[in-house]
Structure 1
Amino acid sequence: MEPYVNPFAYLFNILWFFFLFMFFMLPFLKRYALNKAREEMISQIEKKRNSRVITLIHRQESLGFFGIPMFRFIDIEDSEEVLRAIRMTPEDMPIDLIVHTPGGLALAATQIANALVRHKGPVRVIIPHYAMSGGTLIALAADEIIMDHNAVLGPVDPQIGNMPAASILKVLEMKEPKDMDDQTLILADVASKAINQMKEYLVWLLTQNGMDHQRAERIAEELATGKYTHDYPLTVEHLKKLGLNVSTDVPEEVYMLMELYPQPVGSQVPSVQYIPVPYKSSKVR
């Protein structure tokens, strides 16, 4: 006599396997397919523009595991990846860096800007939507900034903790030193140094690409001294008036690439991507 087999046990096992597949494997497969689609689009842009394409894209509104907010900013890991991509690029090959970021760590943004301005080939930073704070610093290292008509950059005035350095210095104008505590005086000293350092760095950065010293100083004064709030949007028209080399010829493929960065659910997505192979000549395969 054959043993009795409960058909509901088979059904339960199938449903359990299906649940595990949907919960673990399906999101992984979707992420894999999405990453492959991004790499294919990056490859298409490279072939069309004969350049190395690197992306620095942060989805600030993305949600993490179980709905916990995961805000992305420029960090050291990003700078390491971008610098690695630049090292894998021939010196005479153009670089197109696609940036979409609210900003981030000043050290990381400065490292990226240094690497871009020292690259001997043409460097173009493409901004389809916005690049604030550290993203603006990176854009200023480019030979050409390519922006959507409605895209914006932002000021690069230093922030001390969560306070603008320029606003901290304003306290010195409102009070006598004898009426301030030691911590405020220390913050004011740090704020003064931070603004001077940023102004000096911007002048150096802009003059490396051939801008005359006087214009570079004017731009540094405009962007680094707290004339605007840190989230003030600098439009294409504003940037052109400052004398920056800005165009609005964003390739259509860049918009198509941005569509492949939907609001992710479940985990973070890589913010820096490029075709991970060294190029041996100035011609893209």
Structure 2
Amino acid sequence: MLRMETVDSINKIIDVNEEDDPELSEKLTQISKKHNAVLLACIAPYVGLKISPTKTVNAQMGLSEEFAVETAINHIQTKTDVQKLMLLVSSPGGLVQSSYKVARALRKTFKEIIVFVPHIAASGGTLLALTGNKIVMGMMSQLSPLDPQAQSGEGVVSANSVVDAHQFVTMLFDEVSLEDAPYSYKALADKFDGVDIRDALASLSLMEEYICEILEESGYSKAECKRISKSIVRGFKTHDEVITVDKAKKLGLKVVTHNDFLEEWNLFRDWLGKYMLQSADKHVIRFVISENLVRT
């Protein structure tokens, strides 16, 4: 078993290693051998880490995940030259920057990626799922829109909501002058900050650029990238809308059902089950490489 020799300060904030459960590892190794692929799990446990009597911290894409995935990739590359990856993603998302950097690192490292989403890959987790040349989904699988969150006053809301609300208020003045507008119209207009609106528009545009880059690396045409990125960023009612396997297909994503990979699907669900209910404040990163793939 490969031991992780990482700088102590980094090692304290990451949770990454080869899978060490004997029974599970043996089964996963057989899948790795069958597909000539590295297996990698990126799992955010559903139970947060209690750090005080009143505060719990949940796992989300951030600094820990950036260094953890980098560490995993570095160790994988010391053992094998294989460039096929089977990736398990279970994540509520997190920071846009971190999600993008992790997705980009995976796409730059592996030529072929098959992503498995047994349950939830939301927000930044959806961006990770888009690294797949194929995305395997089942009945309970969930992706989500990728509309970034923007600052509005003292809170954070969907950038789409900021833009849509501004457009709604602007329409109120289409048929009435500012001088003749009722007080309620003026009060609504006064609530908007031009800088917030500009930042919201910029964040939507930037997210579309990130998605296009990842999709293009995943084998989509430029036209498909543009259409899918616009739809997944701007085409849904709320940030929490569930994108099922059927909706994902309608978006144009390269989705297949779990029945196409039934053995792998069931085993990846077991892999998720091992970690999903443990208490943690960071994603668990585990990987498996069969012996036949190890560089001699």
Give the alignment's TM-score, normalised by structure 2. 0.73
1:60 equivalent in structure 2? 46
Matches for 1:1-285 after TM superposition, within 5 Å? 36-37=20-21, 41-42=24-25, 44-50=27-33, 51-62=37-48, 64=50, 68-87=55-74, 88-89=76-77, 90-161=80-151, 162-175=156-169, 180=189, 184-225=193-234, 227-247=236-256, 248=258, 249=261, 251=264, 252-261=266-275, 263-264=277-278, 271-274=284-287, 282-283=293-294
1:256–1:86 CA distance, 2 compared to 1 (3 A): same
What amino acid is aligned across from residue 54 of structure 1 in structure 2?
Answer: L
State the 1:173 CA deviation: 1.6
**Which digits, 9 at most, give the CA deviation of each residue in 1:199-238, with x for residues without a partner?**
1222222122221222221111111125331111111111
What amino acid is aligned across from residue 157 of structure 1 in structure 2?
Answer: D
Higher relative CO (CA 8 A, sep ≥ 6), structure 1 or 2? 2
**Which digits, 9 at most, give the CA deviation of each residue in 1:155-202, with x for residues without a partner?**
111111420001111232233599545972111000000111111222
What amino acid is aligned across from residue 137 of structure 2 in structure 1?
Answer: M
- Unmatched tracts of structure 1, length 5 or more: 1-34
User: 1:165 touches 1:226 (CA, 8 Å); kept in 2?
Assistant: no
**Which digits, 9 at most, give the CA deviation of each residue in 1:64-87, with x for residues without a partner?**
367753311111211221122223
Overall identity of the aligned pairs, in %: 23
Give the alignment's TM-score, normalised by structure 1. 0.75
User: 2:65 touches 2:283 (CA, 8 Å); kept in 1?
Assistant: no
User: Which secondary structure state, in structure 2, belongs to the residue aligned with residue 167 of structure 1?
Assistant: helix
- Unmatched tracts of structure 2, length 5 or more: 1-18, 179-185
What amino acid is aligned across from residue 103 of structure 2 in structure 1?
Answer: A
Cα distance in 1 between the residues matched to 2:71 and 2:229: 29
User: 2:45 touches 2:283 (CA, 8 Å); kept in 1?
Assistant: no
User: 2:32 touches 2:39 (CA, 8 Å); kept in 1?
Assistant: no
Cα distance in 2 between the residues matched to 1:66 and 1:175: 43
Aligned residue pairs: how many? 247
User: 2:43 touches 2:88 (CA, 8 Å); kept in 1?
Assistant: yes
Moved more, 227-236 or 196-205: 196-205
1:129–1:187 CA distance, 2 compared to 1 (3 A): same
User: 2:159 touches 2:201 (CA, 8 Å); kept in 1?
Assistant: yes
1:24 equivalent in structure 2? none
1:269–1:132 CA distance, 2 compared to 1 (3 A): closer
State the 1:148 CA deviation: 2.4
* Coordinate RMSD, CA, aligned: 3.0
1:3 equivalent in structure 2? none
**Higher Rg of the two aligned structures:** 1
Cα distance in 2 between the residues matched to 1:262 and 1:204: 30
User: 2:126 touches 2:144 (CA, 8 Å); kept in 1?
Assistant: yes
User: 1:127 touches 1:147 (CA, 8 Å); kept in 2?
Assistant: yes
Cα distance in 2 between the residues matched to 1:98 and 1:257: 9
User: Which secondary structure state, in structure 2, belongs to the residue aligned with residue 74 of structure 1?
Assistant: coil
State the 1:62 CA deviation: 3.5
1:17 equivalent in structure 2? none
Cα distance in 1 between the residues matched to 2:159 and 2:89: 25
